[in-house]
Structure 1
Amino acid sequence: MIEPNAESSEKQSPFYLKNELFCKKFEDFISQHDGNSKGKYNAWSYLVYGKIIKPKEWALEYKKSTFTSGNLFLSTKSQSLFVSAIWKTRTNKAFKSDFLIRKKKFTDSILKLVNQSIKKIESHQNYILITNRNSFEIQNLIQVLQPLFITNEIYQITYQKNILTIDLRTEKHYFDIFSKLIELSI
């Protein structure tokens, strides 16, 4: 169960109401998939976990933290807000080898000259794929997650030791995309 941990004075705040609605939608989605959820929220943050078992077991975590630097001149939204969504599942060798997809760094162009496992993702120039084998299954995953690549909300995707982890930087649920993802045979 997801519960508030807010002071009574916070409960009328529009930020509290927004976080409360976010958490209620999360809890509803998880229960629709025969899952369990837990977590806490207030006007400044939330941390919620969910585990679904239908049609396949997935663990979901959404986090939002608001903090201040103590300096009014440096307090921009991007410096004082952290948002994260992590979707994770265990697979039975759905992908032919381990891989990592992440945003491209300046040094990747140089590393690509000496490391053949670094590949461009043709449709998303801001990201790279690091793998020994670029499989059909990886391309299907990229296709389903395409809207998140376009908005640059994908932080990284890893597949290691039969565990697929999709790490996002977003304040949105994206249940529509997640629903397509769980339909993939991974």
Structure 2
Amino acid sequence: MKIKSNATPLELSSPFYLANEQFCHDFERFIASKQGKVKGVYNAWSYSIYGKIETGKAWDLKYKKATYSGGSIWFSSKYQNLLTLAEWKCHDFGTNDTSFVVRKKKFLDLLNPSFSKVDTHENYVIKAKKGKPRVLPQLVSILKPLFESKEIYKITCKNNTLIIELRNEGHHFDIFNQLIQLS
């Protein structure tokens, strides 16, 4: 399948539509370069796109953007909410040694001894069964720019499936390409 526009004719000249269209075309080209498959839709307000590639392991990529408003066309854009997220999921990641979760630190984590600080990023904590996983230092090193920009929302590894959730508007294909080498 392809990524398709579901925009109304009035949206086609919108700069928001053109930006979303470019984002989706770049995604489509990247997935095609990896002999993967894509599907999804976009318009001036949102996109919801998915890609699947095989690099020795199966990777699913999902990018979503949604603009929510208070329901009135009279309100300015300051009353609109924007959600942008990316999710990279690797099946059969090969970390049978442990399950873990890395996420942004919350105030109450100070009271919970099951969470410990991620060594190089004080704004993030980790909760792991059986101690810190062997793959964590490499993973943190590859994702360092995303940790520093605080775009990492959560990283979960459970049942051999790695899920990296981001809150951003970028593709970060360069970082994703490094992850492929790790898995």
TM range (shorter): over 0.9
Cα separation, 1, equivalents of 2:71 and 2:137 = 44
Residue 70 of structure 1: how far off its partner (Å): 4.0
- Superposed, 1:144-155 pairs within 5 Å as 144-155=142-153
**Maintained 8 Å contact 2:90/2:161:** yes
Residue 139 of structure 1: how far off its partner (Å): 1.2
**Deviation per residue, 1:31-80 (Å, 9 max, x gap):** 1001000000000000000001134320000000001024737x537x51
Distance 1:92 1:29, change over 3 A: closer
Please tell me whether residue 131 in structure 1 is matched to residue 128 in structure 2.
yes
Counterpart amino acid of residue 64 in structure 1: K
DSSP-derived class of the 1:171 partner: coil
Please tell me whether residue 120 in structure 1 is matched to residue 117 in structure 2.
yes
Match of residue 49 from structure 2: 48
Cα separation, 2, equivalents of 1:139 and 1:83 = 27
Normalised by the length of structure 1, the TM-score is 0.91
**Maintained 8 Å contact 1:6/1:42:** yes
- Superposed, 1:8-157 pairs within 5 Å as 8-70=9-71, 72=75, 76=78, 80-91=81-92, 93-94=94-95, 96-112=97-113, 115=114, 118-132=115-129, 133-157=131-155
Cα separation, 2, equivalents of 1:97 and 1:63 = 29
User: Structure 2: any 5+ residue segments left out of the alignment?
Assistant: none
Normalised by the length of structure 2, the TM-score is 0.92
User: Structure 1: any 5+ residue segments left out of the alignment?
Assistant: none
Moved over 3 A (4+): 70-73
Residue 135 of structure 1: how far off its partner (Å): 2.6
Please tell me whether residue 169 in structure 1 is matched to residue 171 in structure 2.
no
Cα separation, 2, equivalents of 1:95 and 1:104 = 25
Match of residue 2 from structure 1: 3
Cα separation, 2, equivalents of 1:29 and 1:16 = 20
> What RMSD over aligned residues (CA atoms) do the two structures have, in Å?
1.6
Cα separation, 2, equivalents of 1:48 and 1:124 = 30
Cα separation, 2, equivalents of 1:54 and 1:160 = 20
**Which is further off, 148-157 or 46-55?**
46-55
